[in-house]
Amino acid sequence: MSTSKDINMLKSFTFLFYMSMGIIIPYLPLYFEAVGYSKIQIGTLLGIGPMAGIVSNILWGVISDRFQTVKKVLAIILFGQLVMLFWLWQVDQFTITLIVILFFFFFQNPVISLTDSLTLLTIKGTKSSYAGIRVWGSLGFSLSALVMGWILSRSGMDKTIFLLIITTSVTFFLVFGLKDRKGSVKKMEFSGIFKVLQSKELLWFLLLVFVISISHRTNDHFISLYLIELGADEKWIGWSPTIAALSEIPVFLLLSKYGHRYKELPLLALAGLAYALRYVLTAFLDNPYMIIAVQALHSVSFGIFLITAIRYLSGLIPDEYRSTGLALFTVIWAGAAGMSSGMLGGWIYNQYSGETLYYAAALLGFISSIGFLGTHWYRLRTRT
């Protein structure tokens, strides 16, 4: 049984890890731009990382399930991140940067799914909820995006990697205070992974997750560049992810308390519509500060999507494959979608415009909404 100390340590770890994310998402693209890379090169750098995540999420998830440890795996990959960050701090040549970023995200991407896995295992049998712990990630992200933005606007974007080294170092030391958990008394067998992947329901769900995630990740990659292009001052860039992260907190808490009353697929359809509206407004408006305000729609887009998708996925995958299943989910929404949105998005942005890119993202959000709603109706018809 988990103690309050275990829960609080997990909250602290989540808070610190997402502080690093609050630097990576809004400011890493601006760092690359400051170094002198083009939008296509930036899109490639942002896309190659998730490509590494496709392999690493599954690899580290399987290792975690096989050896029944999340804590030790987290320690290894956080140390790997630190090594890559110190290397990245020393280079500015595109080819070398590409290689370093590839390995950095190889270690960075799996932290999300492994932390989610540890969270779900830690709260099992307690009154705590996933949303109640994940909300600390939102707080860490929003605080970091705002404070680090203020620091970088005064010291220069070249200090981005240094700040990342600081937050990642603290996160690394915190991992030793976490209590490890075993997913199940039933030991994981590799053959069972393929049985899980044979589920048509799971595969279709992951396809819809892929579509909605491309929409989401496009904004992650390019919102900072788009706001700068429209004339936003660098010191205001941090407000975009801050507003987004803060807006998701009440939704996380509401879903934690009342989410079980509603079916997952209709909620996910609502999230898809929210993404579509959010990005249509982003493309339509030409005032960067109004676009920053629009990021509050992150609450009913990503806020609903993340909690509801994990809840739905948990019902499809047995406990002994929890880390692997969540790794697969992360491969789709952070890996494959991140790679596709980074590379394709960079090309669209460079060839056409940021406005065109956001209209395309809105279309994908709408398509995912139709898919989730159609799946819900199909399930109702086949089960009656």
Judge whether residue 149 has pLDDT over 90.
no
* Residue 187 located in a structural domain: no
* Residue 185 located in a structural domain: no
pLDDT band, residue 110 (cuts 50/70/90):
confident
The pLDDT value given to residue 146: 86
Mean pLDDT of 234-248: 85
The pLDDT value given to residue 187: 47
The pLDDT value given to residue 267: 95
The pLDDT value given to residue 3: 80
Q: How confident is the prediction for the chain on average, in pLDDT?
A: 86
Mean pLDDT of 349-374: 95
Q: How many CB atoms lie within 10 A of CB 257?
A: 12
* Residue 3 located in a structural domain: no
Give me the helices (H) in 124-159, please.
130-155
Mean pLDDT of 305-311: 89
In 72-190, which ranges are E strands?
Answer: none
Percent of the chain scored above 70 by pLDDT?
A: 93
Mean pLDDT of 88-96: 89
Percent of the chain scored above 90 by pLDDT?
A: 43
Mean pLDDT of 308-318: 82
Q: Is the pTM of this model over 0.85?
A: no
Judge whether residue 186 has pLDDT over 50.
no
pLDDT tens digits along 256-270: 778 778 889 999 999
Judge whether residue 253 has pLDDT over 70.
yes
Judge whether residue 185 has pLDDT over 60.
no
pLDDT band, residue 5 (cuts 50/70/90):
confident
| Total number of domains in the chain | 1
* Residue 343 located in a structural domain: yes
Judged by phi (left if over 0) then psi (alpha if -120 to 50, else beta), residue 125 lies in left
Judge whether residue 250 has pLDDT over 80.
yes
Judge whether residue 248 has pLDDT over 80.
yes
Q: What are the percentages of helix, strand and coil residues in the chain, rounded to 5?
A: 85, 0, 15
pLDDT band, residue 285 (cuts 50/70/90):
very high
Judged by phi (left if over 0) then psi (alpha if -120 to 50, else beta), residue 285 lies in beta
Judge whether residue 320 has pLDDT over 90.
no
Judge whether residue 188 has pLDDT over 60.
no
The pLDDT value given to residue 196: 64
The pLDDT value given to residue 195: 64
Sequence letter at residue 176 = F
Judged by phi (left if over 0) then psi (alpha if -120 to 50, else beta), residue 117 lies in alpha
Q: In this structure, what CATH number is given to the domain that contains residue 218?
A: 1.20.1250.20
* Residue 186 located in a structural domain: no
* Residue 248 located in a structural domain: yes
Of the given ranges (6-20, 260-274, 332-346, 357-371), which has the lowest mean pLDDT? 332-346
What do you get for the CA distance between the two ends of the chain, in Å? 40
Judge whether residue 234 has pLDDT over 90.
no
Residue 368: its H or E element: helix 354-382
pLDDT tens digits along 30-71: 899 888 888 888 888 877 877 787 788 778 877 887 788 888
Inter-residue contact 61 to 196 (CB < 8 Å):
no
Domain hosting 158: range is 9-178+192-382
